[in-house]
Amino acid sequence: MSTTSSWWRAASSLGRMTDTAISAEVRDAVLDACTRAKIASRVLATANRAIKDAALCAMADALVAQSVPILEANARDVERERAAGMAPGLLDRLTLDEARVVAMAASLRGLAALPDPVGEIRRGSTLPNGLRLIQKAVPMGVVGMIYEARPNVTVDAAGLSLKSGNAAVLRGGSAAAESNEAIVGVLRSALVAVGLPADAVQSIDAYGREGARVLMNARGLVDVLVPRGGRELIQAVVTGSTVPAIETGEGNCHVYLDASAPLERSIAITLNSKTHRVGVCNAAETLLVHRDAAPRVLPTVLAALAAAGVTLHADAASAALAPAGVATVPATEDDWAMEYLSYDMAIKVVESLDEAIAHIQRYSTGHTEAIVTDDLASAEAFVARLDTAVIMVNASTRFTDGGEFGLGAEIGISTQKLHARGPMGLAELTTTTWVVYGDGQIRS
């Protein structure tokens, strides 16, 4: 039996195991896409850096050259979702303009400039019996992504997958359906132009949620699945997939102003963390302030947040320090656990560093936490005692980003502990193979 036939046999079995409400037409179409991606992944696995980088640059050039139809498609998505009442923060994620298309193209060129992770030697040794061992990086194979209202993720996922030798099967959601269709079409044409298979990048948006469920259960065809979006989407994928999934994204991020926090730095970091872009997972949602710093820094920080349009969900101690003309609303228990993705922020005065850490330990989603301090001991305690993907010391939470970390781009920010944690770039889309070289050794 051919390899392709064995994939189809596995796919048919998978299809029967999925939700019986899924139509045969959708099941077969998505599994066909995954099978074609598997075939394409074999080509990419042996592609050299030169051809992959040429493809990335061709994709970047094509995005800019075809920006008009991409932006027209995106405008239709945005208008439809605005009329449907999409929240402003999500609309911002969805919206493209000329500058954002240029930025997406630049991220692809940035990936082309990075070293190829495939073939990198991770470890190596020679055993006493003369066997030579190396552990080298190899592609995952087929990377599936399920995400919401983020056309830029389509480009990042395609570019990162290509550079790391993987094929990508993408489900970008109905809100960005026209944008993603236009972008994927451009990327596929660029791949063909340099001699790589178009099926290295595919969208299954046309098959809706049924298609997403098939993708989630295409174990054997899809090697890893990355969800990126809100809590409900991420948990649905992580708990409902038979394909191994990497938990990403949900960000109840905190900024803690320690007792020694300088005023100007407190204002700048808090304001940037909250308001630079509210609809993203690395935006801060809660501000904690040490009681000794609160009278000195909190009135000015609250005034700056309010002037930026932030609704302040304040505990009693914080509300009491709000200057005249700055309104607050009482914080509730729900506020401490809320990922607002909007111009809202929960604010609490804490008695000590210990209380701040305990609060974060209780409510954090394990994404990014920041401390503003001039006390090295406080910074070291904050770093040592928090269990989270990224910790910022005197820096904005908004820096938790693959591009900012020098990874070129990111396919997501992992909040789990196995395999990958934090921004996931090229290295995180590879696994390893052990290669053993001998000259006839046998085990006694």
Q: Per residue in 358-371, pLDDT tens?
A: 999 999 999 999 99
| Count of beta carbons in the 10 Å neighbourhood of residue 382 | 23
Do 3-247+416-435 and 253-399 share a fold? no
**CATH architecture type of domain 253-399:** 3-Layer(aba) Sandwich (3.40)
Residue 399, CA atoms < 13 Å, CB-side half-sphere? 13
pLDDT in tens, 117-146: 999 999 999 999 999 999 999 999 999 999
Strand 142-147 and strand 224-228: the pairing is parallel
Percent of the chain residues topping a pLDDT of 90 = 84
Mean of pLDDT over the chain = 93
The predicted structure's pLDDT at residue 286? 98
- What burial class does residue 296 get, using C-beta atoms within 10 Å of its C-beta: 0-12 exposed, 13-18 middle, 19+ buried? middle
What one-character DSSP code corresponds to residue 322?
A: P
Do the Cβ atoms of 240 and 233 come closer than 8 Å? Answer: no
**Tokens describing residue 216:** 């989630």
Residue range 3-247+416-435 forms a domain whose CATH class is alpha beta
Spatial CA neighbour of 232 closest among 170, 157, 172, 147? 147
Distances from the Cα of 438 to the Cαs of 131, 134, 442, 443, in angstroms?
A: 5, 12, 9, 12
Domain boundaries, the chain: 3-247+416-435, 253-399
- What burial class does residue 128 get, using C-beta atoms within 10 Å of its C-beta: 0-12 exposed, 13-18 middle, 19+ buried? exposed
Spatial CA neighbour of 336 closest among 358, 308, 353, 303? 358
pLDDT in tens, 298-329: 999 999 999 999 999 999 999 999 999 999 99
> Hey, which residues does 171 pair with through a beta bridge?
146
The predicted structure's pLDDT at residue 6? 40
Do the Cβ atoms of 348 and 318 come closer than 8 Å? Answer: yes
Helices 231-240 and 208-216: crossing angle in degrees, nearest 10, is 50
Could you give the CA distance from residue 317 to residue 323 in angstroms, rounded to a whole number? 13
The predicted structure's pLDDT at residue 90? 86
